[in-house]
Amino acid sequence: MSTDPLIAAGHEDWRLFVAKARANRSFQAGAVLTLAVLAMAALSLVWTPHDVAALSISDRLQPPSAAHWLGTDHFGRDIVSMIMAGSRNSIAVALIAVGIGVGIGVPLGCWAAARRGLVDEVLMRASDIVFAFPALVSAVMITAIFGPGAVNAIIAIGIFNIPVFARVARGAALALWPREFILAARASGKGAARITIEHILPNIANLLLVQGTIQFSLGILAEAGLSYVGLGAQPPATSWGRMLAEAQTMIAIAPQMALAPGIAIIVTVLGLNLLGDGLRDVLDPKLRRER
Amino acid sequence: MLAYTARRLLIVLVTLLCASAVVFFVLEIVPGDPARLMLGLNASDAAVQALREQMGLNEPVLIRYFAWLGGMARGDFGTSLTYSVPVIELIGERVMVSVPLALIALVMSTAIAIPLGIFTAARRGRPADTAAMAGAQLGIAIPNFWFALLLVWVFAITLQWLPAGGFPGWSDGLWPGLSALLLPAVALALPQAAILTRITRSALIETLAEDYVRTARAKGLPARVVLWRHALRNALIPVLTILGLQFAFLLAGTIIIENVFYLPGLGRLVFQAIGQRDLIVVEGVVVLLVATVVFVNFLVDLAYGWADPRLRRR
């Protein structure tokens, strides 16, 4: 079986990917940062240096020390533990929001590309309308109407991922439909749905992966903004945005409280952006932007 | 060009109509009776009914939608439930904070990004370029409200050069108002400048690879003349259109930044209105922001069509 040409081609692709990834510094830096944040979130499920919920007024606003590596907040909570626990919230919200965008947007985009005509026109105009809403304004509106909370933040961010993925999927699928291998599939009697699943999707997966990384990072920023204004995760859940909102009230006394959550957001977003740029270069040299 | 403009205008109108319907019907399903909210918890049912009648809340929903739409077309956005003044007046006051803020941020980000984009494109691959691009990567990753907090800490609390928040209004002259908007504008401008630098740089690098640039070089023109006279003009077309779009984003971005600095702009108006269930204000502001985005997009489309006749046929 190992001589199956398809499998051999798969190995070849993988070797090429690894070789290119080794040469791409942006990809490596992004992958390291992203994996570090993911590992931190995973670790926080089983272990944090201190109990995140433990209040200890006598330990409040402590500078960094051996017991509290980044000090404590105005309730005496350990900042390292809060950053670790907060990463789960950021990642969960942004990742599920990307999932909503992919899960609904990609089928819609593929459908539009396969059917063309009226379906395409209606879907694209609908996505124009969604794009007309500044994402932040609508996210604020949605979370304000349906109540603040992590779930509504996910929905608010997710809705704006739908037209993004629909556009990317449609554009890429439209370029594939006139190609010979699709024509061959149609000639062999396959329907549009089967062609989309068997031939279109595998060929646009790379693009979707790159876009997914970008939307993931935008989602982290959006979630932080929403929870900063009090519309995201609610207490007792910890989130980086809420930590910043609390730090704002203490900025004159304890400016260090604002540093750690901000740097956590920057590292996460920077890692994902670098990973996205790197992936684009590694996966498809044709997409490589002039830099 | 006329047919192109008419077609674009039609799309603008349809988009606005659909977007306003979305806003209206989404807010329609929000629980809570505005009439009861205005009168307070102790109001009798009869008084609530009377007010509902007076506010036209008992009309069918479609009639109310078109009445609201027709009112907005005449500049009547309705009356705020909590302030009991016309919504357009509230918006008019707040626009005097949000629009100058967005404009200052736009000027700042352009003043940084365009020269930096040109500089890095001309020195592509050299250390200065690499450093500037790393800086841009970082700028994009920084949440503007966190940057705003740092600015408050350094310039308002530690150095005490500028106010930490609040807005004195424009009546005391230009400087008090301007100084209150300076830090928020810097916070808003930073990520936009980072994005714009990257766009300027890549547009210019793309143009520098064009045949006519090579021709200009081949006929012996100095690199400086080729860059400034031949490449830059063409590269700036996409940059200018992006600039138009950024104004709308900046206006939306003020929503969070205004909360950091306690500025009485559109963003805080929306938040207060949402908190008080003053939905007609929320509807007015959101529709206004959407209309700004759609209208700026329209202008950008026209500019593209004017600059590139091939785009008119589609």
Q: Is A139 on the interface with B (CB under 8 A)?
A: no
Q: Is A154 on the interface with B (CB under 8 A)?
A: no
Q: What residues in A contact B27, CB-CB < 8 Å?
A: 145
Helix-strand-coil split of chain B, %, nearest 5: 80, 0, 20
* pLDDT interval class at A1 (50, 70, 90): very low
Token readout for A223 is: 């979630």
Q: Is A133 on the interface with B (CB under 8 A)?
A: yes
* pLDDT interval class at A290 (50, 70, 90): very low
Which has more pLDDT, A103 or A228? Answer: A103
| Res B309: pLDDT | 67
Other residues' Cβ atoms within 10 Å of the Cβ of residue B214: 12
Which of A95-104, A112-121, A136-145, A218-227 has the largest mean confidence?
Answer: A95-104
CA-based nearest distance A140→chain B, Å: 8
Q: Is the pLDDT of residue A3 over 50?
A: no
* pLDDT interval class at A15 (50, 70, 90): confident
Per-residue tens of pLDDT for chain B, all 314 residues:
788 888 888 888 888 888 889 888 887 777 667 777 777 777 788 888 887 777 777 778 888 888 888 888 888 888 887 888 888 998 998 889 998 999 999 999 999 999 999 999 888 888 989 899 999 999 999 999 999 999 999 998 888 888 888 888 788 778 888 888 999 999 999 988 998 999 889 888 888 888 888 888 888 888 888 888 778 777 777 777 777 777 777 877 888 888 888 899 988 888 888 777 788 888 888 888 888 888 887 887 787 777 666 666 54
Token readout for A280 is: 């684009």
Whole-angstrom CA distances from B297 to A171, B192, B241, B248 are: 20, 18, 9, 9
Sign of CA dihedral A224, A227, A229, A231: positive
- A131-176 pLDDT, tens digit each: 888 777 777 778 767 778 888 889 888 988 999 999 999 999 998 9
Q: Is the pLDDT of residue A37 over 60?
A: yes
Whole-angstrom CA distances from A67 to A46, B43, B77 are: 19, 57, 57
The model's pTM? 0.86
Q: In this complex, which of B138, B153, B270 lies closest to A251 when CB atoms are compared?
A: B153
By C-alpha distance, the chain B residue nearest A245 is B260
Token readout for A130 is: 């969604």
| Res A42: pLDDT | 92
| Res A291: pLDDT | 36
Whole-angstrom CA distances from B299 to B7, B9, B241, B245, B253 are: 13, 10, 9, 10, 21
Q: What residues in B contact A290, CB-CB < 8 Å?
A: 202, 205-206, 209
Q: Is A224 on the interface with B (CB under 8 A)?
A: yes
* Phi and psi based region of residue A55 (left: phi greater than 0; alpha: psi -120 to 50; beta: remaining): beta
Q: Which of A49-53, A185-189, B28-32 has the lowest mean pLDDT?
A: B28-32
CA-based nearest distance B150→chain A, Å: 8
Q: Is B35 on the interface with A (CB under 8 A)?
A: no
Which has more pLDDT, A61 or B158? Answer: B158
Q: Is the pLDDT of residue A94 over 70?
A: yes
Q: How far apart are CA A70 and CA A248, in angstroms?
A: 17
| Res A46: pLDDT | 87
The letter for the amino acid at B107 is: V
Q: What is the mean pLDDT of residues A222-231?
A: 88
* Phi and psi based region of residue A179 (left: phi greater than 0; alpha: psi -120 to 50; beta: remaining): beta
Which A residues 86-125 touch B at CB under 8 Å? Answer: 125
Task: Check if the beta carbon of residue B298 is closer than 8 Å to that of residue B38.
Answer: no
* Residue that is written with structure tokens 């900025």 in the block: A251
Sign of CA dihedral A75, A81, A87, A89: negative
CA-based nearest distance B196→chain A, Å: 14
- A108-131 pLDDT, tens digit each: 999 999 998 899 989 988 888 888
* Phi and psi based region of residue A67 (left: phi greater than 0; alpha: psi -120 to 50; beta: remaining): alpha
The pair phi, psi for residue B79, each rounded to 5°, is -115, 135
Q: How far apart are CA B223 and CA B227, in angstroms?
A: 6
